[in-house]
């Protein structure tokens, strides 16, 4: 008698970022849940039909395929990396442009660890048309009843002179902060770019920010981030989530990576066209 098939659960689904742009139009198929607060840590993420469809379409060259190309160009042993997450041997993995990790709250956080505050993937990469896409997949959808904040920190070359944002995370030294502010229940989002070298704050058009399911992303032009000493391909990024904006570490739910900055991604085809 054949054994019943058991649903597969993944601690981390690297490929889900490949199809995140396909989740538009699919979120209506997902059940609406009450705000999910994590009690016992449950790092596993169940697969779902929408995610599988998104991945399949991206792999076939549809929307999201730009991240597929990036991952394929940077990760030569993807099967081994996935196996490492499945076994628990790996809890964090970074390549230029992308950080994947088992979602968890950072020790100094004093708030409630809602699913939407715990990232499983975060990325910042330059794609066709000189567009920098910044995006993150959270452990769960945006159902938090309070306002929350999603920060992409960039170092364009002046970060080391400015020093760390948080004293306890001395390796995170940005010179630019991109803050995406999400209203309660993910009903809307706004954004700003703060140049830490000058203090100038620029708004981000609402049309450039998208929230779909458990994914948030922003599309910005490279001209919004002029160099402070580094070539574009050497820019570095880090990501964190907060319950309040500012430099109080107790409001930070999670970092990605935990205490470092990762080079942004630049597709080889984009780099070639840029000379």
Enumerate residues 6+ apart whose C-beta is below 8 A from 122: 98, 99, 135, 136, 137, 152, 239, 256
User: How far, in Å, are 167, 189, 190, 243, 262 from residue 212 at the CA level?
Assistant: 33, 11, 15, 20, 25
Q: Where are the beta strands (DSSP E) in 109-224?
A: 119-127, 131-138, 148-155, 176-182, 189-195, 201-204, 209-212, 215-221
* Residue ranges covered by each domain of the chain: 9-273
- pLDDT in single tens digits along all 275 residues of the chain: 444 333 333 333 333 333 333 333 223 222 233 334 333 333 333 443 333 444 444 445 544 556 667 767 777 777 787 788 778 888 888 889 989 888 899 999 999 989 999 998 899 999 888 899 999 888 888 988 999 999 999 999 999 999 999 999 999 999 999 999 999 999 999 999 999 999 999 999 999 999 988 889 899 999 999 999 999 999 999 999 999 999 999 999 999 999 999 999 987 554 434 43
- What pTM, to 2 d.p., does this model score? 0.76
- DSSP-derived secondary structure letter, 32: P
Q: Is 72 left (phi over 0), alpha (psi -120 to 50) or beta?
A: alpha
């Amino acid at each position: 008698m054949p054994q019943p098939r058991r649903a597969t659960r993944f601690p981390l689904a690297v490929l889900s970022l490949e199809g995140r742009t396909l989740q538009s139009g699919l979120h209506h198929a997902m059940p609406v849940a009450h705000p999910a607060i994590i009690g016992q840590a449950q790092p596993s993420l169940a697969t779902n039909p929408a995610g599988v469809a998104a991945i399949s379409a991206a792999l076939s060259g549809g929307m999201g395929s730009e991240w597929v190309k990036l991952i394929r160009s940077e990760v030569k042993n993807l099967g081994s990396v996935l196996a490492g997450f499945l076994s628990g041997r790996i809890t964090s993995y970074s390549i230029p442009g992308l950080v994947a990790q088992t979602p968890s709250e950072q020790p100094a956080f004093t708030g409630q660890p809602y699913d939407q505050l715990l990232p499983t993937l975060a990325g910042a990469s330059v794609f066709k048309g000189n567009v920098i896409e910044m995006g993150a997949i959270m452990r769960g959808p945006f159902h938090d009843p309070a306002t929350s904040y999603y920060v992409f920190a960039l170092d364009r070359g002046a970060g080391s002179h400015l020093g760390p944002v948080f004293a306890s995370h001395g390796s995170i030294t940005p010179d630019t902060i991109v803050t995406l502010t999400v209203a309660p229940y993910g009903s809307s989002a706004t954004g700003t770019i703060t140049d830490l070298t000058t203090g100038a704050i620029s708004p981000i058009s609402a049309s450039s920010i998208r929230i779909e399911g458990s994914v948030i992303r922003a599309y910005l032009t490279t001209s919004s981030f002029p160099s402070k000493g580094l070539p574009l391909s050497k820019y570095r990024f880090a990501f964190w989530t907060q319950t309040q904006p500012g430099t109080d570490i107790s409001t930070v739910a999670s970092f990605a990576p935990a205490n470092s900055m990762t080079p942004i991604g630049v597709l080889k085809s984009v780099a070639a066209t840029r000379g």
